Structure 1
Amino acid sequence: MTVDTSSAGDAGVGAGAGQHAVAAAIAAGEAVLSRRFGSAITLVSPEGLEGSGPATVVRARVVSSSFALPRTLVIKHYPDPPEPGEADPFAQEAVSYQLFTALSPDERMCPELLAHDGRHRVLVIEDLGRAPTLQDKLVSRDSRAAERALLSWARSLGRLHASTASREADFNALLRRLGGPVRNQDAGVADLTAEVPPMLADLLDVVVSEPVHDRVAQAVAQARSASFRAFSPVDLSPDNNLVTGSGVRFLDFERGRVRTALVDAAYLRLPFASCDDALALPAGMSEAMIAAWRAEVVSVWPSFADDEELAAQLTISELLMVWLITRETLPKLDLSRHATPVSREAALVTWWRELAKHAGYARLTDIAEHAQRVAAALGARLGPHADLAFYPAFR
């Protein structure tokens, strides 16, 4: 979710959402707040906030309330129920906010949930204001500010994991209460990974060896494991994080769930790799981010104090991430022309090269050799400049 910084009022509403959708969100927000506090509460000056998900997101000002409500609030309204059998983004987000609102303020890495209602499918949350997003910092020209924001993001992610490491049962119980299905969303990962070897053979003439097949199976087992599980926002896009005076705060939990924290930690090595416009970070930045994350979680998972153990665990998770991104991305790429430094083609080459480097450091030779072969095959087709460009802050 990114904030539409156009002026408040009708002009702002038009930018982020239709007038009817905004009016419906305001009405739902007033209804749930009035029921929550036992007296009519009026919201005015709606401002549509831009979002990529199914919710209408609106900032509004509270008028003449006798309650200790903030001056402004954010309303997230999900007007349409999910298709039968599909995950409900309203339920996922409501339960995620409930989980964090039950924690102490210093453990809460997100806005506070003030009210919610399953019948109206609406959330009312704390407004963190017009703080810049992590994406804003990355596209600025201030490398020091971008570095500080990335380290704060990594620390906040670690705190999020540490504070929710034993809360999976709570999360599932809350989800059932809202009618959301509790299911193992990692169950189909093995089937997805099985699609990659024939793809690599057909498109890149790279054969996956038996030891690498075994490593991928190990990565799938790790993803399904009961070890190192904690809450994850899942969508770790930089525009879903506000850089506040209290540190980075996570915004969107429409896909929030409990999974192994190692998946999120692998994103510290390949930052924002699931984003179509992901770019690169300078040497040493990822290692500093991992150190910041580890400092927050090592008291919960002491085995991560061992450098070799953490490196091996992260590399296995990174293998799965690159594997699944390759499955999603490779068939869509144009392998017949040279890649530009800001293309998805250059990104995929870079991530395979990074995997080879990290696997080498972790002495996982079979992964390193395979990743080098894939990167070389991609580079041969995409040209000598298939290196992902840095984010503007680091150019």
Structure 2
Amino acid sequence: MTVDTPPADDSTVGAGAESSSSDTAMAAVTAAEAVLAQRFGSTISLVEAEDLAGSGPATVVRARVASSPFSLPRTLVIKHYPDEPADGEDDAFAREAASYQLFTALSADDRTCPEILAHSADHRLLVIDDLGRAPTLQDKLSGSDARAAETALLSWARSLGRMHFSTANREADFNALLRRLGKAQSGGQAEPSAPPACDPVEAATEAPVVLGEELGIDTPVDVAAAAQRAAEQARSAAFRAFSPVDLWPDNNLVTGDGVRFLDFERGRVRSALVDAAHMLVPFVSGPEPLALPRGVSEAMITSWRAEVADLWPSLAEEETLDRYLADAAQLLVWEATCRWLPELAGADRVSGDGRDNGDRGRTRERGTATARAAALVTWWRDLAEHAGRAGEGADGAAVAAHAEAVARALDGRFGPDLELPLYPAFR
């Protein structure tokens, strides 16, 4: 039997949500006090818990140190992962803890993230240094000061380069830390790591299928071969370094000492070229990316290269770097297409004429879909330009021609005349 119930009072719903948030924040603080006591051997009291509303699986809380016999920062940030991962699911806590531990071994100048002060696999919790209320890169890009936004982007690129430089030979260390955390949580038997979600390397195989099914576009043999070569380069031992993977503008802080990265829930060692290609395809892995003005991406790449050229001298050669980054950009654009195109095509088939019939939620969804379609159109057009400029004879021309054809098909399907707008700071 179905029972009709009156709509909930907004104030009641809000109070319940606030109460739930308070409960999870206090649970995180209580666990943090236990972890800190175990780490330092004495009681440390935390007060004034502030829920920072993290977007991932962790409860993120800022708390003030009320009393401690040790010299600790005035405030701390707590990341609590109360839920165990499902069978076969990658463990965000283990990756984040291993990532922070990897950086702890570096000097303060090489550490492009906050310092980890304590962690516990039993409590699934990390306590890290609080960098304060500095703006994120997203804040800078969403503002009205173009110069400040560009300065922040160049700082982001330099910090990414320093991260790559300082972790380039630390893959074995990272994997050992990850295995140790896996064993600690599984009672001594390390569980195999799940493959990363939205892996650009896998897109070399998956994207041609998606393009054929959703747009009716065939991928020429030489274009598919070029993508497979790019995937082999990304899998190779060359240019490997630690990556946060989620290279989004709101996942870092713009501090007086440069940009600092915050979230390593999918952190892993992979090709640094895939990270650097996010400057050609700006923040492609983010949920709602926008565009950068011409010239800014090139300036970012120059800043990044200055940090890694001593480590990887071949990247000092302009033509070599252009070719490598164009290949990595191809993988990123293909991956974004695998991630978004089936959903866009499915929504397009269901919505018919696209009218939302007064449903605000559907209006927002339609706006997001249009933005993502515009992103794909823009990225495929830009890929054609990058491939044509980087070249490699007939292969470069073939990749460029295929990218142009895909861009036209996407615009014809979801447009017309779609173009990704600039971040607000550059409008």
After TM superposition, is the score higher than 0.5?
yes
What is the alpha-carbon distance in structure 2 between the residues aligned to residue 393 and residue 17 of structure 1?
Answer: 36
Q: How many residues align?
A: 384
Instruction: Select the residue among 382, 385, 388 that pairs with 1:360.
Output: 388
- Structure 2 counterpart of 1:135: 138
The offset of 1:15, in angstroms, is: 6.1
Larger radius of gyration: 2
Asked if 1:219 is matched to 2:251, the reply is no
Q: Per-residue displacement from partner, 1:78-109 (whole Å, max 9, x unpaired)?
A: 11111223221111001100111110001000
Q: Name which of 185, 200, 219 aligns with 1:208.
A: 219
Matches within 5 A, 1:197-346: 197-333=208-344, 343-346=371-374
Alignment partner of 1:150 out of 131, 135, 153: 153
Structure 2 residue matching 1:365: 3-state secondary structure? helix
Secondary structure of the residue aligned to 1:108 is coil
Q: Distance in 1 between matches of 2:165 and 2:201?
A: 28
CA–CA distance in 1 between the matches of 2:353 and 2:421? 18
Contact 1:234 1:257 in 2 (8 A): yes
Q: Which amino acid in 2 is paired with 1:237?
A: W
Residue 101 (str. 1) matches residue 126 (str. 2): no
Q: Residues 14 and 48 of structure 1 are in contact (CA less than 8 Å); yes or no, is this contact kept in structure 2?
A: no
Deviation at 1:384, TM superposition (A): 4.1
Q: Which of these residues, 18, 29, 34, is aligned with residue 32 of structure 2?
A: 29
Going from structure 1 to structure 2, the CA distance change for 1:198 and 1:79 (only over 3 Å counts) comes to: closer
- SS of 2:76's partner is strand
Higher alpha-carbon deviation: 384-393 or 140-149: 384-393
Residues 181 and 164 from structure 1, CA distance in 2 versus in 1: closer, same or farther, beyond 3 angstroms?
farther
CA spacing shift, 1:288–1:326, aligned 2, 3 Å: same
Gap change, CA 1:234 and 1:191, over 3 Å in 2? closer
User: What are structure 2's unaligned runs of at least 5 residues?
Assistant: 1-13, 183-189, 355-365
Match of residue 379 from structure 1:
411
- Decide whether aligned partners of structure 1 residues 184 and 61 sit closer, same or farther in structure 2, where only a CA change above 3 A counts: closer
CA distance in 2 between counterparts of 1:15 and 1:222 reads 48
Question: Residue in 1 aligned with 2:378?
Answer: 350
Farther-moved stretch of structure 1 (282-291 vs 339-348): 339-348
Q: Hey, what's the Cα distance between the residues in 2 that align with 1:233 and 1:316?
A: 20
Q: Name the structure 1 match of 2:362.
A: none
Q: Give the equivalent residue in structure 2 for 1:388.
A: 420
User: 1:131 & 1:327 partners in 2: Cα distance?
Assistant: 35
Deviates more, 1:287-296 or 1:333-342: 333-342
Q: Out of 383-392 and 92-101, give the one that drifted further.
A: 383-392
Kindly state the Cα deviation for residue 16 of structure 1 after the two structures are TM-superposed: 10
Matched, 1:38 2:41: yes
Which ranges of structure 1 fall in alignment gaps of 5 or more residues?
1-10
Contact in 2 for aligned 1:17/1:50 (Cα 8 Å): no
Check conservation: 2:95, 2:267, Cα contact below 8 A: yes
Q: Which moved more, 1:333-342 or 1:18-27?
A: 333-342
Q: Which residue of 2 is the match for residue 82 of structure 1?
A: 85
Instruction: Give the % identical residues.
Output: 60
Verify the 8 A CA contact 2:200 2:332 in the aligned structure 1: no
TM value normalised by structure 2: 0.85
Kept in 1: contact 2:88–2:194 (CA 8 A): no
Question: Alpha carbons of 1:37 and 1:353: their partners in 2 closer, same or farther (altered >3 Å)?
Answer: same
Distance 1:245 1:300 in 2: 26
* Aligned-partner Cα distance in 1 for 2:260–2:19: 21
- Give the alignment's TM-score, normalised by structure 1: 0.92
Q: Is the 8 A contact 1:76 1:122 kept in 2?
A: yes
Q: How far, CA to CA, are the matches of 2:216 and 2:274 in structure 1? A: 28
Residue 401 of structure 2: aligned partner: 369
1:382 Cα offset (Å): 3.3
Contact 2:90–2:194 under 8 Å retained in 1: no
In structure 2, do the counterparts of structure 1 residues 282 and 53 end up closer, same or farther at CA, with 3 Å as the change threshold?
Answer: same
